[in-house]
Structure 1
Amino acid sequence: MQIKDYLDDIARSTGFLSRLPMPASRFAGHDGTLSRAAGMFPVAGLVIALGPCLLVVLLSGLNANAALTILIAMCAMTGVTGALHEDGLADSADALGARGGREHMLEIMKDSRIGTYGVLALVAGFALRGVALTILLSVSGGWNTALLMLAVAAASRTAMVWHWSQLPAARQGGVAASAGAPDDSALTHALLCGGILFALFVTLASGPAAALLGLAVIAVAARQWTNLVRSRLHGHTGDTLGATQQITETLCLTALALLA
């Protein structure tokens, strides 16, 4: 692959995962699939998280309240992604929490309304991430917290690619199905890129032990979530991809904060 191909893939994956405007030239002649571009999901995670991370550094440099700093940054992140991953988490929680068979769960995922399980999942996820990041900011400072946020943004989107590659599409015509499955080289690129970025940034911010812990938590969480989705839905959807990102990010940040 040439440099242009990598830049195309970064733009396409960032455009898929967020509301950030990408150059139209990067999509010229593109068929809309992400089979190759999924390999750059970790880098797209860095691009998506960069603005909120800079907010954390700026506000902490001004000695702003830690909890409000994190809340502002999390709201900014939600705005950048358009709550894409949060929507996936809520829909997945509603579907898997409901009684009924596979087809009933898939119908719930298509419903734009949110139920009790979805609300609880969003509240729990937002609260855990907010408290964890507030602890990390109070203990480690703005720059180190920004590094940790970037690391988790990259690794959690790597987990999405792995989840995507392990399961067939649960239904035809869905967002994930229409985007195609990551090919073998894309999966390899995502795992290497996401793993290296995570290990580097977390080691710089909190040390190698924290990096090993974080990788282990993400790996176990992604595997367990994928096994659950396989047993209940027999395949992935766009919602389960988004839930993968939210679950791995939340659990990793929580683990890092517990040891801070």
Structure 2
Amino acid sequence: MSNATEFIGDLARSLGFLSRLPVPSRYFEGHDGSVSRAVRAFPLAGLLLAIPSALLLWLLLEWQAEPLLAALIAIAVVTLLSGALHEDGLADAADGFGGGRDRDHILSIMKDSRTGSYGVIALILSFSLRATALASLASDAQALPALALLAAAALSRALMVAHWQTLPSARLGGVASGAGRPEASARSFALISAALVCMLLLLSPAGPVALLVALVLASLAAYGITRLADEKIGGHTGDTIGATQQAGEIVFLVALALAV
């Protein structure tokens, strides 16, 4: 099997893991369910997942739609396509870290399907900050918000791979544990490819300084979630992985909006 064919298979499995998009069953036949190598394609999967929303955002702004409304619609579309996978992780992690007394209590709260006040607040902040940041970018160039949405989708999914690979599983039998810990080479490929995507999309319209600031701050946000998870529960869960994606995307877009 050629490297290109292997990567296409990894990309298909990544899309199946990260979204509600239909993926041909042949990519899963005889597969053990592990995404240890497939995570290298997460940034590209995130990019593809965000293309419909980015295109819609660009069209709405071209049609003189109010920027904040256009941004909210775009975020709603990508959330529906992903099945709110990462938002669910953010809410559960916020409830767990916000209300948990100790490791076992935090993990118990995260496993609870009910959403508490910390989770609700986290979701409100996530949607409002991302939408406001995209709307703010629309004042500089109508194509910039769409490009930023694509770049954030790729980068944030690389950062979640880094979080996933850095820490051991905090809970046996969870979704993240069953999917396997990412290979170090897959993590490096994901991070490098995401950085290249960001440079290709934003280096010219946003400028090198703004892009660098956004990349650094988003990376620090992901590192902060990783340190918190390590200290509080001694590892990662599917919820902390989702929270890392959300934190990276939020901080990247907000930093970009402030720096441009």
TM-score normalised to structure 1 length: 0.97
Is 1:240 equivalent to 2:240 in the alignment? yes
Report the Cα offset of residue 168 of structure 1: 0.3
State the distance in 2 between where 1:132 and 1:225 align.
21
User: Counterpart of 1:103 in structure 2: which amino acid?
Assistant: D
Residue type at the aligned position of 1:20: L
Distance 2:100 2:56 in 1: 42
Q: For the residues of structure 1 that align with 2:238 and 2:94, how far apart are their CA atoms?
A: 13
Separation in structure 1 between the aligned mates of residue 63 and residue 178 of structure 2, nearest angstrom: 46
State percent identity of aligned pairs: 48
Contact 2:90/2:242 (<8 A) preserved: yes
Residue of structure 1 in register with 2:188 after alignment: 188
Which whole-Å CA distance do the structure 2 matches of 1:102 and 1:140 have between them?
46
Q: Contact between 2:213 and 2:259, CA under 8 Å: does it hold in 1?
A: no
Which runs of no fewer than 5 residues in structure 1 stay unpaired?
A: none
User: Take 2:218 and 2:75, find their aligned partners in 1: how far apart are those partners?
Assistant: 20
Over the residues paired in the alignment, what is the CA RMSD in angstroms? Answer: 1.0
C-alpha deviation, 1:77, in angstroms? 1.0
What SS does structure 1 have at the residue aligned with 2:65? coil
SS of the residue corresponding to residue 140 of structure 2 reads helix
Aligned to 1:87: 88
The one-letter code sitting in structure 2 at the alignment partner of 1:90 is A
Confirm or deny: 8 A CA contact 1:19 1:81 kept in the other structure: yes
Are 1:18 and 2:30 counterparts?
Answer: no
Deviation at 1:28, TM superposition (A): 2.1
Q: Distance in 2 between matches of 1:81 and 1:138?
A: 28
Question: Equivalent residue for 1:253?
Answer: 253
**Residue equivalent to 1:113:** 114
Instruction: Give the match's secondary structure for 1:70.
Output: helix
Equivalence for 1:38: 39
* C-alpha distance in 2 between matches for 1:184 and 1:101: 30
5 Å-filtered alignment, 1:57-136, equals 57-136=58-137
**CA distances 1:220-242 after superposition (whole Å, capped 9, x unpaired):** 11111101110001010000000
Q: Which amino acid aligns with 1:17?
A: L
CA positional deviation for 1:99: 3.8
Q: Kindly indicate whether the alpha-carbon contact (under 8 Å) linking 1:158 and 1:190 is maintained by their aligned counterparts in 2.
A: yes
Q: Secondary structure at the match of 1:191?
A: helix
- Quote the Cα distance in structure 1 between the aligned partners of 2:125 and 2:58: 25
**Which segments of structure 1 move beyond 2 Å, counting only runs of 4 or more?**
none
Number of aligned residues:
259
